[in-house]
Structure 1
Amino acid sequence: MTLMIFFLMFIIESATEKLCPLRASIDVLEGEYFFLCYLESMQEHFQEEAYTINWYKENAGKQQLIKETQRIVSQMNFLEFWPAELSDSGNYSVTHSNGKQNFTVQKWTLNVLERNKSSCFNKNHLTTEIKNAGTGHSLKCNDLSVNENDSIIWYKDCKNYENETERELDFKTLTVQHSGIYTCKILISHEGKIYHSTNTIKLVVEGDAPETVTLEIIGRDEEIETEMGKEEILNCTGFLGYYMREDVSLYWLINQTFPEKCTGIPKNEPSICEEEFKKLQLGNKFYITRLLRIKKVTDEDMHHNFTCMLQADDRTLMKIVKLKKGNTRDLPVHIFTTGMVLAVLFPCVAVAAVFVCVMFRVDLVLFYRNICRRDDTAGDGKEYDAFVSYLKDCVSSTEEEREFALKILPMVLEENFGYKLCIFERDVSPGGAVVDDIHSFIDKSRRLIIILSQNYISNRAIYELESGLHKALVERKTKIILIEYMPISDYNFLPESLSLLPSKRVVKWKKDKSLPMNSRFWKNLRYLMPAKPTKMNTKGHYNNLDLGSEGSPPWAEGCDFNAVV
């Protein structure tokens, strides 16, 4: 039953995806039916917690809830306009709310274009398709209606085009005369009224149509060298032109007699048999082909005429193939088999090796550092391996973050892996020029570790971030490591220059999952830190260590808000 539900949801989601392509900016003509919609994932259909959907439009820089009217209707993940007006232009968004939090699902910018009163289309609301003459092509009407029974009308240069009412306009062979502006008009019935939406395509056909092509058998009469007892496959291919003909036949004759048909069963296969013909399209050209299989060449076969016949349009073409004894010898079976095995095995091994290197890149680098005792810190004049920047105000909601920055992080990196950290609250004596001290200590550090949280930027630690970004992006002296201590749903609170940093320099803390010394978190963090010989002690797990009274580190007691930036 569960499998059936997932299957149905997959079908629904696939159908919705066709109507709801991902698009940030949308143009629509005034006076036409239109809708905004977003894709609901299958997980949202099975959420236990109920949520409500709200649509918003930005007004004077503020998000204003859209109230339904007879013209603007909200239905789950659809916002419909019956029809769209010029005043509807603006920025739209849709949110999910569970009563506690609002989650923005998607945003759009809607541009409602003014209709050209003297034409059936707006030149700013069309797409251009450029094709070569002689090729086949079809114009598709972008369907903005869910009902497949809605009426379709095609226009060419604003004139009704051959009474076409299908959703696709097919051209078997394009000519320059097919160039023009094609408009598809969909008529949609709603509450007793007829609305419409249009889609306009400018078709440009370049070059002259190719000359009329006659049927042709590829290749001339030929003699094929072979050996007694060898299997031979004779191929006959006919060129049909620039469209697929239906009244065409292709077959083989053996001394003016028809061969038997291949059965596909090796034990019951005739010694000589003819396979079914196949139709092929290569680019804008169409072919038909048929194989004749000779299971084991005999001396009698050397005296046969194998004739390929192509018939169409009251014309018959033929090609004669003969067999003759040759001196060529095949490779021994064991050599051929070995070569084939190696040819197949080598790419598989190469792909597997690349996959292992990508998936275990971090582990391999750390292993290499340990084996080679690599040290990137020697002789660079730096005093610290990393400067740690974090939310320093003593707010109850950030006590865990302070404990992570002041105790867990230095305990693991310093005591277990031999790194030296600069933690302002721990290592800098009070009373100095704070701004100058921060700038100086960042200069002395090889890395800047930033422990991000939602309140980080609102804190005075912003100076450390801006100073570190300047050194990373402008002076290129210090590399930045971002630790996402708590899940962040919206990064808009961060400086835009932070987006210039590589995404691979972000490490996510996952609480209990990240506690063990050999967890992915500590491996990724060590990978981003400078290489240096370590006194590895990975016995374990530090969540059972004494954290001081009531679980807070000793130096966090009696925080001085004026001691740090």
Structure 2
Amino acid sequence: MTLMIFFSIFIIQCATEKLCPLRTSIDVLEGEYFFLCYLESRQEHFQEEAYTINWYKENAGKQQLIKQTHRNVSQKNFLEFWPAELTDSGSYSVTHSNGKQNFTIQKWTLNVLERNKSSCFNRNHLTTETKNAGTGYSLKCSDLSVNENDSITWYKDCKNYENETERELDFKTLTVQHSGIYTCKILIHHEGKIYHSTSTIKLVVEEDAPEAVTLEIVGRNEEIETEIGKEEILNCTGFLGYYMQEDASLYWLINQMFPEKCLGIPENEPSICEEEFKNLQLGNKFYVTRLLRIKKVTDEDMHHNFTCMLQADDRTQIKIVKLKKGNTRDLPVYMFTTGMVLAVLFLCVAVAAVFVCIMFRVDLVLFYRNICKRDDTAGDGKEYDAFVSYLKDCISPSEEEREFALKILPTILEENFGYKLCVFERDISPGGAVVDDIHSFIDKSRRLIIILSQNYVSDRAIYELESGLHKALVERKTKIILIEYMPISDYNFLPESLSLLPSKTVVKWKKDKSLPVNSRFWKNLRYLMPAKPTKTNTKGHYNNLDLGSEGPQTRTEGCDFNAFV
């Protein structure tokens, strides 16, 4: 039983090899019956895994599934046209599908030629046969019909030829007079309609003996237009002559290197692989063919030489195929979708980066200063980094406020961050002219730090503030830093000129929360201070110290500061 099944499959395979067109580019006349088919390997008959066969036509660069109609009929490994029309011209392919993956079996380019209304044939749709006079020969009609009952008529130069109706036209002894154009017309009955198929052969009978047939590769060197990521199947076919040469070999080289062999398992196939070698016989001619599969074309493949080598009887023929990028087409949907997703992600990342820069600009600036060792104080002629102005009213300030102004602020900025401050009570010697001293020390300072308080109303405090404002607004030499030690709801007690400052950033003191050296208060204050390349110690914490004899000493007591006005 198994032997009979194998024998039946062998018969079907032989018939398919006889009928299926070998060429990848096929010409057919409009209005005629025609079919495409592929050579099914014997192994496919014994596959345990079920698969389906699908036919596709390329439309605007995309593979479109061919649906079954009364005119387009797909049966197993055949795609029939009842009949072929001019619009059928294009690229076709056939695939196997196991439900998970599609595997392309073969590709064709079909050219439907317009019928010549003034003749029974089209000169672009004929084959030429050259024979010797005195020999016997048979012209064979088209194999497109397998029904022996189909009506066949022969024509020579478009005239009925001796009422011949056989599938083969036999010439026992050829003469020069037998030369001519022979057309075979087959009438095919299908679903109550009559279709026809024609094949035209130009027979040339020569009296002289022909030259010895030499092997050759079908087609010349060529460049194939393709696209990155597209599958390509390169076909190389060699003509051996009128008998099969056992020593004939046909193989591919990629830049003079042998490609890997195809395994027959799509998911495990290498990116480029070579199919098995096949022998074919069409009529009395013998061919060999081999396919080279490129899973996905890469930019690197565009620079490769794909060389087909045919060798037999110590003779060698080559054919070189190159790939080149075709005309730019619309982006595939998946590429457009990927681009849109990347654009949205890029926008989100950009917005997030801007948000981070705004939220952490202080930390970023301090980090930059530390890495680059930036120095804004070099060569400016200033002696102090900041002049500290705090509450000095007749009403005695609280001990906490006095400790902050005279101890906490100078200690942290000077000992931890290397700044040099000018504190009036600490650094100005007693007995001098207060107005001149204030003006001189503010002039020597790069910043004026003002510790805001509702009690910030004394004459000397107001003079310090107004002197600093004059240098900030008019002379543009000193920048002002405002520190809100206690929460203030109304700033009307301050001079109106303060509102003219281009920026009035207020750094707020939050008691115990601000004490650590790495707190937000000290970062914001350093951000406003000039950059200095100093070794920063941010692991410290200020400890409350007694302001007794060890604390800074005021140069006077009471309200005597008003005397300078």
> TM-score, length-normalised on structure 1?
0.40
- Structure of larger gyration radius: 2
> TM-score, length-normalised on structure 2?
0.40
